[in-house]
Amino acid sequence: MNNGKQQIVVLFMALMVTPLVFGQMKSHLINNIWVTRWDTETYSSGDDNFHRFTYPAGDFAGETKNYNNRGRGLWIGVKDFIDYADPNVDSVYYDAFVNQNGVGRSDPGYTRPLSNRKYIRKPLPDILINLKNERHPNDHQLGSIIDGNLIADEMIETIYATRIGIQVTKRSYAFANPNHSNYIIQTYNFRNNGNFDDDTTNTPEQRMQDLKGVYFGFLYNACPSRRIGYYVIRDYTHWAHYYGSESGDSLKIGYVYDGDAMGNRADGYNQGAEWDDLGKPDVERDGATGEFTGSGEFLSYQYIGFGLLHADMAFNNRANDAAQPATVICEAEDLMDDLYWHSDVGKYNFLSCKRKTIGSDLGEYPGPDHLDARESYVTFSIGPYDIPYGEEVNIVLYDAAGGINRKLAKTEGAKWVEGTLEFEGLTGDEAKDALIGTGRDSLFKAAGRAQWAWRNGLDRVPSPPRSPGIDIVPGVGQVTIKWEDVSDEPGLAGYRVYRTKDEYTNLYELVHDTREGSNPLATQYIDHDVELMNSYYYYVSAYSNGSNNTTGLIPGQPLESSPYLNRHMSPVKPGVQTGTSMDSIYVVPNPYHYRGLSFGGEANLRRYEAQDDAWELKDQISFVGLPTRAKIRIFTIHGDKVAEIDHPDPTKSYSIYGSGDEAWFQITESHQLIKSGVYFYLVEGWDANDNFLGIAKGKFVVIR
């Protein structure tokens, strides 16, 4: 059996004979954490798209909406460094020099990308919606390399050179196994090869110098549920802690979570001045009556963690150094910003100070401008190392997340608004805070499983069956779901079909299990329990009988495939019966009102099929009572044509042959959203035998 350390040595050896391929952004999209890897780890903290840490996962189109990390970076500090980077100067001596990647620094002169590639263990499923192939705009897996011998379900390999001549090879591993779905492991190999540009064949620019007193500083700027929870209160109330400073601590983990905004804000946004907003419930408080309005769903229940699994004792000693990390700093963003203006000596002193702060204390919140309550940084600094030319050091870290599940966040949040929430003998705010506080336990559980995987070997985490390709066709009063036969997967026991309504990011429910029927390996299900013209979304999982799980955390446990790989974004809408005459055609809703939408409540323009310029609007309107085939033309009150729609349209995944309805998302032929006003339509129709049925005219009203 190979353990994790042996596996990583094999992979680094394989790198020597593998050609380098340049890449950019790659994402882990297989488990409950979606993390993005940029090709050098160099990006500013203001660019949301470059550092996603989406938890809970599942939103392909708005991956940054629920992100939990504003940025991350790697600082490498070295003493007595001679810099040969400037071709106009023979050399420059530094008492201390810090190569800055990532948060707070985006200087391309410090790093050079060499390669960024994604590997997957099993083929990706095809997603076919109404005979049209769907492609997720944020899915960067399409260029992935399939490797059946991979020691995880996904691996992203990022290689780049640094100014000080250390080449960084980072590999991050993600698992589809449900027991290992809340963490991602990252291995770092730091090799002193003297190279700092993208040409690895010439003489090393930094000469063959030995590096002394090297510290590796990993910076994390965490912010649980920033795009959702933060905007409820408009206060930064994130608290950072470190666990692992005491002797006997089995884990070494820094973590960040939401606190209670108890102070007032002059701008009036902070409705939490008079109530406990820990967890950021989705509510507002009526200023006159004091009553809460809203669903109450807890929006910031996440506990986000970053931990250390292994650090070499020295360049010539691969044993784990239990004394690492040497420095742990939990600071607020404002305090870290000051550090960016320090000299290299000041930054090096920060990395090497050997402080180990346990973090902020969640007590009475003194106000939005209090430094301890700003967006938090957790910094691990590991070292010092002396790294002679040609030698290397290895470090292994992990990202993890925990928290109550979203179903509890919704159901218990509603009870909190109603005043009926109880938890462990507590009621009201105390019950809410205690319930959300259990997120720390689930975070530590995920961290413990990351530690188990590393100590026992990543290859001992069994993979569930691969996700089957799906083919979904809406019909009149039904939806037919077909899927790929993956019975070649070891121990396959059956398939499960899951469904949600209105938005593909909503909670899914199990609607069919093939083992409950006569054929446990059936590959089709017809969903008759649907409402006409509603939007539905599905995914299909394959699950084993546990016979392929002999080395896992729970041997013999059945394993189910990832819920994310064949989840689709395009809405599936069951059709209505076709009309028999042109007199049955009408528009719904009519009038359409921006504030009274029938499909979700809030206008939210989102591109969902980038390849054909299709759009989804939650505020769609539909033409109903159409014959088998029709051409719809829409005009302004002045007679200008706004749009022309074919029914059915084979290029649109939501357009159903044989149905009597057709959706329009209020986008003109010039790709503009229509304005308020009265609009006229003209419909030409044909029956199933292509006989012309005549022309229908009508009007509808749009109010914005």
Poorest-pLDDT segment among 346-360, 474-488, 600-614: 600-614
Give CA angle at 233 (228, 238), nearest 5°: 75
Each residue's pLDDT tens digit, 560-606: 999 999 999 888 888 888 887 898 898 988 888 865 443 333 333 33
And the tokens for 339? 């550090």
List the beta bridge partners of residue 154: 120, 174
DSSP for residue 280? -
Could you give the 3-state DSSP secondary structure of residue 430? Answer: helix
Question: What is the C-alpha to C-alpha distance for residues 379 and 387, in angstroms, rounded to an integer?
Answer: 22
Domain boundaries, the chain: 4-403+438-456, 582-703
Q: Which helix (H) or strand (E) holds 229?
A: none
Could you give the 3-state DSSP secondary structure of residue 466? Answer: coil
Poorest-pLDDT segment among 156-170, 210-224, 358-372, 550-564: 358-372
Length, in residues, of the chain:
704
pLDDT of residue 258: 85
Residue of 284 and 523 predicted with greater confidence: 523
Cβ-in-10-Å burial (0-12, 13-18, 19+) of 593 comes to: middle
Each residue's pLDDT tens digit, 116-129: 899 999 999 999 99
Nearest to 381, CA basis, from 435, 440, 329, 330: 329
Give CA angle at 388 (386, 389), nearest 5°: 145
Correct CATH for 582-703 of 2.60.40.1220, 1.10.10.10, 3.30.710.10, 3.40.50.1100: 2.60.40.1220
Each residue's pLDDT tens digit, 409-456: 999 999 999 999 999 999 999 999 999 999 999 999 999 999 999 999
pLDDT of residue 111: 78
- Mode of pairing for the β-strands spanning 478-483 and 524-527: antiparallel
Question: What is the C-alpha to C-alpha distance for residues 125 and 701, in angstroms, rounded to an integer?
Answer: 42
Q: Is the pTM of this model over 0.85?
A: no
